C-alpha cells in the first residue's frame, strides 16, 4: 500500500526538514511514501476564509484518487494510541486499498468538502500544533506503526 501525504505549505525550518527526511528514510523498507506540498491560498481578508478553504480543497482533490482511503487530520477527529493507529493502518491494508492518503490542511483548517470525503478523521491532540510539527509527528507515527506491525522494538 502506497502512502501519500498532502500538506498545505512548505517546511521551512531545517531541524524539521531533517527530522522528516530521517523518518522517510526509515520508512523505505516498509512502504512507499510521497509528500505533496501545496501552496496555501493567501488570505487577504479574514471574511474570506471559507472561500479560501474551498480554493485549497480544489487543489487537494486533484491529488486524491477515487479509490484512495482518505484520513484527514482534524482537531475534532478521533484520537488514537500508537498501537491503535498501527491497527488502523493494518485494517486499511486488509481492505486491499492501494493508496492511503493523509491530508493536513492550512493554518485555517480544511474545507468541509475535504472533511466530508474523509474515510477517517484523526486528531493527534486537542492541543494546537504548528503545521510543520504536525507533518513530522505524522511521519514519525506512520514509522512507529510499521515497527509495531512488524513486532519490532522501536515503539517501546
pTM of the model: 0.94
Any bridge partners for residue 7, and if so which?
37, 104
Tell me the CATH number at 142: 3.40.1280.10
145 grid coordinates: 506503526
Radius of gyration of the chain measured on its C-alpha atoms: 15
Q: Which residues contact 94 (CB under 8 A, 6 or more apart)?
A: none
Q: DSSP letters of 97-120?
A: -SEEEEEE-BTTB--HHHHHH-SE
From first to last of its 156 residues, the chain has per-residue pLDDT tens of 999 999 999 999 999 999 999 999 999 999 999 999 999 887 777 778 888 899 999 999 999 999 999 999 998 999 999 999 999 999 999 999 999 999 999 888 899 999 999 999 999 998 888 878 999 999 999 999 999 999 998 755
What is the rounded CA–CA span in Å between residue 90 and residue 113?
Answer: 27
Is residue 136 within 8 A of residue 73, CB to CB? The reply is no
Residue 76 is part of which domain span? 2-155
Q: How many structural domains compose the chain? A: 1
Any bridge partners for residue 106, and if so which?
109
CA count, 13 A, side-chain hemisphere, 139:
26
The alpha carbon dihedral of 59, 39, 26, 114 has a sign of negative
Amino acid at each position: 500500500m502506497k502512502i501519500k501525504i498532502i500538506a498545505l505549505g512548505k517546511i521551512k525550518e531545517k531541524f524539521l526538514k531533517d527530522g522528516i527526511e530521517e523518518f522517510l528514510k526509515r520508512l523505505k523498507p516498509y512502504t512507499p511514501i510521497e509528500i505533496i506540498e501545496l501552496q496555501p491560498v493567501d488570505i487577504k481578508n479574514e471574511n474570506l476564509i471559507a472561500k479560501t478553504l474551498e480554493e485549497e480543497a480544489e487543489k487537494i482533490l486533484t491529488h486524491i484518487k477515487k479509490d484512495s482511503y482518505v484520513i484527514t487530520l482534524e482537531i475534532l477527529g478521533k484520537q488514537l494510541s500508537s498501537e491503535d493507529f498501527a491497527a488502523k493502518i493494518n485494517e486499511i491494508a486488509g481492505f486491499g486499498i492501494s493508496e492511503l492518503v493523509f491530508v493536513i490542511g492550512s493554518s485555517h483548517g480544511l474545507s468541509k468538502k475535504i472533511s466530508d470525503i474523509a474515510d477517517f478523521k484523526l486528531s493527534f491532540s486537542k492541543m494546537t500544533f504548528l503545521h510543520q510539527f504536525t507533518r513530522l509527528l505524522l511521519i514519525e507515527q506512520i514509522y512507529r506503526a510499521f515497527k509495531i506491525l512488524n513486532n519490532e522494538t522501536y515503539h517501546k
